[in-house]
A = this chain, B = another copy of it.
Amino acid sequence: MNDVTTKSKILTAARQLFVENGFSGTSMGKIAKLAEVNYSLLFHHFGNKEQLWVAVKQSIARDAANKSKTLPLSNLPFKEFLSQLMANSIKFYRDNSEIIRMINWQRLEPAEQSIGVTLSTESNEWLDAIKHYQHIGNIDKELKPEFIITLILSIVSSAALDPNVLIKDKKDLKAYVDFCVIGLLKAFR
Binding site for B on A (CB under 8 A): 20-25, 101, 104-105, 107-110, 123, 143-144, 146-147, 149-151, 153-155, 157-159, 162-167, 175-176, 179-180, 182-184, 186-189
Contact across chains for B123 and A147 when beta carbons are under 8 A apart: no
Contact of A179 among B21, B107, B143, B165 (CB under 8 A): B143
Contact of A108 among B22, B110, B159 (CB under 8 A): B22
Cα-based distance from A61 to B84 in the complex (angstroms): 39
Residues of B within 8 Å of A188, CB to CB, are 183
Cα-based distance from A109 to B18 in the complex (angstroms): 11
Cα-based distance from A20 to B108 in the complex (angstroms): 8
Contact across chains for B151 and A180 when beta carbons are under 8 A apart: yes
Contact of A24 among B21, B123, B144, B146 (CB under 8 A): B21
28 contacts between A and B (CB under 8 A): A20-B110, A21-B24, A21-B109, A21-B110, A22-B108, A25-B110, A104-B104, A104-B107, A104-B108, A105-B108, A107-B163, A123-B165, A144-B179, A146-B167, A147-B167, A147-B175, A147-B179, A147-B180, A150-B164, A150-B166, A151-B179, A151-B180, A154-B154, A154-B158, A154-B159, A154-B162, A157-B162, A183-B188
Contact of A166 among B149, B163, B180 (CB under 8 A): B149
Residues of B within 8 Å of A107, CB to CB, are 104, 163
Contact of A186 among B108, B154, B159, B189 (CB under 8 A): B189
Contact across chains for B146 and A166 when beta carbons are under 8 A apart: yes
Known pairs A104-B107, A147-B175, A153-B158; list 6 more (Cβ under 8 Å): A22-B109, A24-B25, A147-B176, A154-B158, A154-B162, A155-B155
Cα-based distance from A182 to B104 in the complex (angstroms): 31
Contact across chains for B187 and A183 when beta carbons are under 8 A apart: yes
